[in-house]
A and B are shown apart, each in its own frame.
Chain A
Amino acid sequence: MIHVALAVGFRGLKKSFTNLAFVLPALMFPVIFFVGFAGALSDVDQLPGFDYAPGYETFQFGFVMLQSAAMAGVFTGFGIAQDFERGFARRLMIAAPRRSGIIVGYAITTMIRWFFNTLVVVAIGLLIGMEILGNPLELFALVLLGLLVSLIGTLWAAGVALRLRSTQAGPVMQFPIFLLIFLAPVFVPIDLLTGWIHAVASVNPFTAFIEGARSLLAGSTDEVAVAFGIAVPLAALAGIWALTGLRSAERG
């Protein structure tokens, strides 16, 4: 399985980093969201009740980091669907002795690609004055949380792609993730949300991830256990979803 995973992972990384058409969109969207939101909305931290010590840039970074992690997984799902349409995935399945390694390979690609993109966003953030108050251990936990969210996104999108095996399935992969991401406290803390969006955000698992990430960036461990407590079982569920998708693809 490891050989299959490494081969698929290497192919994905080569494709990701040598083709500008793949590199730029995946990199530009988190950068645009981060600079656009953090730059334009920095005055929002003047709102009464907005209490986040590192500042609005860091507040937005917590969101953008996890948003890009989840969306990186969705982009991988598009790639899997494309591989099926071009017949490559069929050949891959015939050649692979342990097919679950294919999913692991795609997940490795996504996580490495996401990590690289996040480094670029961090560099831009530091340039525009973002402050990170977390210690190295907290930052390690932050990266781990990002990798878990990326894994959840990949396994979800892979499960859809393996079942539907067409790029037409793009909206099915993208839209639920998009809903989860934006129905969370994106621009202000959850206490400042009112009405229906507060109710939805309160039960949205992505809220726990964002709050955990923002805590770690601020040098605190509040909400971190909740974030991991939700992310780990969700990743396991998404893993089952992807593996049953693989079985569906094997049946044709």
Chain B
Amino acid sequence: MTAAAQIAFLGRRAFLRSIRQPGQMAFALVFPLFFLFVVASGLDRAASLPGFPADSYVDFMFAIPFVHGALFTALNSGIELGRDIDTGFLNRLALTPARGIAIMLGNLAGGVALVLIQYCIYFAGGLLMGAHFEAGLLGVPVLFLLAALGAVAIGATAMTFALRSGSPEAVQGIFPLFFVGLFLSSMNMPRNLMENSWFQWIATVNPVSYLIEGLRSLVIVGWDPEALAIGFGVVLGAIVLALATSTHAFRARMTRT
């Protein structure tokens, strides 16, 4: 079996395992849309602030469910890997000809397949709430691609935690850390309109801001090469870093085994 076939096989397993947990699936689908709905309604007036970059707050927030979805689903991938270690499945898998890279990428591929389906629902939900998408039809795959790469970066980071701890609970425990990254970013307000300089500084050094701004540029500007280049650059950098650490953690785990 080639590495690609192994990735496809293990990806299918990860995908099916996730969709067989309706509670988790429902949360990952409902929460991001609910959050968009209530925040966009509650902060509708904020769009009238001088210098606000979007016509409505729902446009401004439209990109956020994609990041939420990436976070929930990618974190679940890490939790499932932690469960595989906990139950001894990974040890049994290590006795088969499956390559290490296929095990890791297969796990990530299952998560990515799932978020792509979720993104279709978020996109339709956002449009139903009155959002406008400036980049047009060609922008949709770019939006999905950038958000899915974000999911890969988060998923690979969660996998590192799973491989180091071998416990699904430990991976679940890092959820608040990702949440910090999301809330201390330009999620709710453009950085130039942040009155508090300390918060503006945190949002500026927080890479999540650039992922959000890249996604948001497709919604409210259309095609902004600078925002997209920075968004893709930051996410690809995060993926390289996260995959390097998770590969190292994988080797260490297999050596211990």
Question: How many B residues are at the interface, by size bracket?
Answer: 20 to 34
* Pair B180/A32 contact, Cβ less than 8 Å: yes
Given known pairs A24-B176, A25-B176, A42-B196, the reply for A36 and B42 (CB within 8 Å) is no
B196 → chain A, closest Cβ, in Å? 5
* Pair A36/B48 contact, Cβ less than 8 Å: no
* Pair A47/B42 contact, Cβ less than 8 Å: no
* Pair B42/A194 contact, Cβ less than 8 Å: no
B184 lies within 8 A of chain A by Cβ: yes
A148 → chain B, closest Cβ, in Å? 24
B146 lies within 8 A of chain A by Cβ: no
CA of A193 to CA of B44 in the docked complex: distance in angstroms?
8
B193 lies within 8 A of chain A by Cβ: yes
Given known pairs A36-B188, A47-B46, the reply for A28 and B180 (CB within 8 Å) is yes
A37 lies within 8 A of chain B by Cβ: yes
* Pair B41/A43 contact, Cβ less than 8 Å: no
The stretch among A94-102, A106-114, A139-147, A179-187 that forms the contact with chain B is A179-187
A32 → chain B, closest Cβ, in Å? 5
Given known pairs A32-B183, A185-B42, A193-B42, the reply for A41 and B176 (CB within 8 Å) is no
CA of A43 to CA of B51 in the docked complex: distance in angstroms?
11
Identify which of A21, A36, A193 contacts B184 (C-beta below 8 A): A36
Q: Which residue of B lies closest to A194 (CB)?
A: B44
CA of A221 to CA of B184 in the docked complex: distance in angstroms?
33
Q: Which residue of A lies closest to B184 (CB)?
A: A36
Q: Which residue of B lies closest to A127 (CB)?
A: B198
CA of A182 to CA of B175 in the docked complex: distance in angstroms?
21
B183 contacts which chain A residues (CB < 8 A)?
32-33, 35-37, 40
B56 → chain A, closest Cβ, in Å? 12
Identify which of A24, A35, A42, A182 contacts B173 (C-beta below 8 A): A24
* Pair B189/A41 contact, Cβ less than 8 Å: yes
Identify which of A35, A43, A171, A186 contacts B194 (C-beta below 8 A): A43
A39 contacts which chain B residues (CB < 8 A)?
184, 194, 196, 198-199, 202
Given known pairs A32-B179, A32-B180, the reply for A43 and B45 (CB within 8 Å) is no
A188 lies within 8 A of chain B by Cβ: yes
CA of A41 to CA of B196 in the docked complex: distance in angstroms?
9
Contact string, B9-24, partner A, CB cutoff 8 A, digits 1/0?
0000000000000010
Residues of B138-195 contacting chain A, CB below 8 A: 169, 173, 175-176, 179-180, 183-184, 186-189, 193-195
B193 contacts which chain A residues (CB < 8 A)?
43
Question: How many A residues are at the interface, by size bracket?
Answer: 20 to 34
Q: Which of B176, B186, B194 has the most CB of A within 10 A?
A: B176
Contact string, A155-177, partner B, CB cutoff 8 A, digits 1/0?
00000000000001001000000
A29 lies within 8 A of chain B by Cβ: yes
A164 → chain B, closest Cβ, in Å? 14
B89 lies within 8 A of chain A by Cβ: no
CA of A197 to CA of B44 in the docked complex: distance in angstroms?
10
CA of A133 to CA of B242 in the docked complex: distance in angstroms?
47
A194 → chain B, closest Cβ, in Å? 6
* Pair A171/B176 contact, Cβ less than 8 Å: no
Residues of A97-138 contacting chain B, CB below 8 A: 128
A195 contacts which chain B residues (CB < 8 A)?
41, 44
- Top 9 A-B pairs ranked by shortest CB distance? A36-B183, A39-B199, A197-B41, A42-B195, A28-B176, A182-B38, A40-B188, A40-B189, A187-B42
Given A32-B176, A39-B199, A42-B199, 5 more contacts at CB 8 Å? A44-B43, A47-B49, A183-B38, A186-B38, A192-B45
Which residues does A use to contact B, with CB under 8 Å? Answer: 21, 24-25, 28-29, 32-33, 35-37, 39-44, 46-47, 128, 168, 171, 182-183, 185-188, 192-197
